[in-house]
Amino acid sequence: MSDVLTQLAQARLVPVVVLDDAADADGLAGALVDGGLPVAEVTFRTAAAPEAIRRMADRGDILIGAGTVLTPAQVDKAVDAGARYVVSPGLSRAVVERCHERGVLALPGTVTATEIQAALELGLSTVKFFPAGTSGGAPAIKGFAAVFGGLSFVPTGGVSPANLQDYLDIPAVKAVGGSWMVPQKLVAAHEFQAVTDLVSEAVALAEK
Ligand code: 3PG
């Protein structure tokens, strides 16, 4: 699990993907790899998610996690398909415990001190901060980081090239998630070079 965290921290960016058709998974994975960002969070917002995760994970050149995971059953589907980490919009004890049973990293969403304490009680050292933009943004994370020493954050939701640096500048922020570099429409239209261009731009911004 710690190797996954290390890889996410190295990537600094986690593209949040919504795929309508698992047949697009390979092309999208190739676009991410070509753009220099071999990582993705494939969300369970569509029925295509498990098969898309399987196709992307089977390539072996990209770190795949599952997003929008709401139930232990979805954890099982995600992990069976090859997901190495599991992201949830909120904190569910049942989801986190199933992740621990399956040996994968759980990244539940937290936006209050109470939720963060609950995550700590479940043994977590990294949490998603979602939706970051409407939950106080970078200043809120700085406030929490001052109190919860040793805790790391992956802010997601409302992040864009315009505010990316505000988040990445915070030492407690391991990585930042977002969908801006993988627009659903471009993927569905197989505009994979355009996705690669967006990803390359995001990677260059994150390296600044
Ligand atoms: C998520 O699931 O983390 C968010 O939908 C991503 O948020 P964004 O679309 O604002 O980047």
Cα of 178 vs centre of ligand 1, distance in Å, is 5
Q: Closest residue (by CA) to atom 1 of ligand 1?
A: 157
Answer yes or no: 41 catalytic: yes
Tell me if 104 sits within 8 A of 1, measured CB to CB.
yes
For 39-66, what is each residue's pLDDT tens digit?
999 999 999 999 999 999 999 999 999 9
For 13-34, what is each residue's pLDDT tens digit?
999 999 999 999 999 999 999 9
Which pLDDT score, from 0 to 100, does residue 124 have? 97
Q: Looking at ligand 1, which atom is closest to the CA of residue 179?
A: 11
Residues 155 and 176: their CA atoms lie apart, in Å, by 5
- Which residues in the chain land under pLDDT 70? 1
pTM: 0.96
Residues 159 and 191: their CA atoms lie apart, in Å, by 22
Answer yes or no: 128 catalytic: yes
Which pLDDT score, from 0 to 100, does residue 1 have? 67
| 2-193 CATH, one of 1.10.3720.10, 1.10.260.30, 3.20.20.70, 2.40.30.10 | 3.20.20.70
Per-position DSSP letters for 64-79, written without gaps between them: EEEES--SHHHHHHHH
Q: Closest residue (by CA) to atom 9 of ligand 1?
A: 179
Domain definitions of the chain by residue range: 2-193
Residues 114 and 48: their CA atoms lie apart, in Å, by 34
Residues 96 and 165: their CA atoms lie apart, in Å, by 29
Annotated catalytic residue within 128, 142, 174, 208 = 128
Three-state DSSP class for 84? coil
What average pLDDT is seen over the chain?
A: 97
